[in-house]
Amino acid sequence: MKLNSSLFYVLFISLSLLLACNADNKKEKKVLTPEELPENNLTFRDVNGIRFYEVKRRFKNGLSFNDVGFQQEPNWIIEHKAPDTMLAYSPEIQAMEAFYLHHDHGKIYNFAREFFRVKVISKDSLILQRIQVDGKMIAGDDDLRSDVYCTYYTKDYIEKKLKTTVDELRKPTPADTTFIKKLSERTHKDPSNPAFAFAARKPVEFIPTTPYITVEKQSSQDLVNQHTAAYDYIYPEYRIVILRAYKDFAYRMHVIVDANKKIYVKSVDGVLEESQEARKKMLQGVADVYLSHLLKINPGTTLGIPHSSEITINIVGRKVVK
């Protein structure tokens, strides 16, 4: 009986030690997120004077593009200058420009007229989430305007550790290409469907083939309304003037241009609802007779892949050439 008690005691101690070791191993195997790593919990003061180059700007799904064709383009260069200044590269003046660095609260900062949430600060890299702030309210991560994650590396890290260049890291990924191919194939199956059309990174191009038609691509940029350069490819707009038309007219119409250069009139502005279909039919005739024959049409493309995209045309017909 005494022997059995001793044996039971030894087995109990052994089992306890085994369980303790397993628990320790599980703790050791826990994978920490970048934000949890001690070396990534620095402050901007710790990286003062270090220049960082933006190499990735992605949505949380890891892609540079979304369903409407908007592309996140990494192009910032930033450098912290203590105590409250952030330098950022300005393409307009082609130099680093100083901005006041405002620490709002927690990990929320503002500089260069944008709000950011700090995800990672290390000696080699930064990860900042661009967030949308309306008044004093921060839009949630599920808001598309806050779904922007920017990664920055130092020049030394890029060249010495990664053995590559800034330009190479900024290129779209194979996953981006696969995603765009999938969206494009959907438009090929139903080319006139506006629900499937998406903004082309290289918008539709109209090239006159005779002197009886002119084309002007109009800019959508508007700093007052925060319409950046991206608007020029997301909402492309053109002014087309047809000389010696069958009559004088002027309309603003929204059309789909597919991968095969075919134009489909989607809607016409400034027309009563009961007249919409008749006006669309008339302008479809104008597109088929005039635009298709007097213009060389290059469809919109993204990553070199042609697809259906929606554009706006301000079309003017002049019967008599003045």
Do residues 85 and 180 touch, judged by C-beta distance below 8 A?
A: no
> What is the per-residue pLDDT for 14?
52
Half-sphere exposure of 254 (CA within 13 A, CB side): 13
Tokens of 212: 């009886």
Do residues 179 and 285 touch, judged by C-beta distance below 8 A?
A: no
Q: Predicted confidence band at 2 (pLDDT cuts at 50, 70, 90)?
A: very low
Q: pTM (2 decimals)?
A: 0.82
Following CA atoms 44, 47, 53, 59 in sequence, which dihedral angle do they give, to the nearest 10 degrees?
A: -40
> What is the per-residue pLDDT for 136?
67
What 3-state class would DSSP assign to 294?
A: helix
- CA–CA separation, 77 vs 286, rounded Å? 48
Q: What are φ and ψ of residue 70, in 5° steps?
A: -70, 130
Task: Judge whether residue 137 has pLDDT over 90.
Answer: no
> What is the per-residue pLDDT for 231?
78
Task: Judge whether residue 183 has pLDDT over 90.
Answer: yes
> What is the per-residue pLDDT for 189?
97
Q: How far apart are the first and last CA of the chain?
A: 120
- CA–CA separation, 116 vs 110, rounded Å? 6
> What is the per-residue pLDDT for 113?
87
What's the topology of domain 38-171? Lipocalin (2.40.128)
Residue whose tokens read 């139903």 = 190
Q: Predicted confidence band at 195 (pLDDT cuts at 50, 70, 90)?
A: very high
Task: Judge whether residue 10 has pLDDT over 50.
Answer: no
Average pLDDT of 99-112? 91
What 3-state class would DSSP assign to 239?
A: strand
Tokens of 290: 């005039």
**Strand runs labelled E in 101-236:** 102-105, 108-111, 114-121, 125-131, 133-134, 137-138, 148-154, 205-208, 213-218
Domain boundaries, the chain: 38-171, 177-318
Task: Judge whether residue 1 has pLDDT over 70.
Answer: no
> What is the per-residue pLDDT for 178?
98
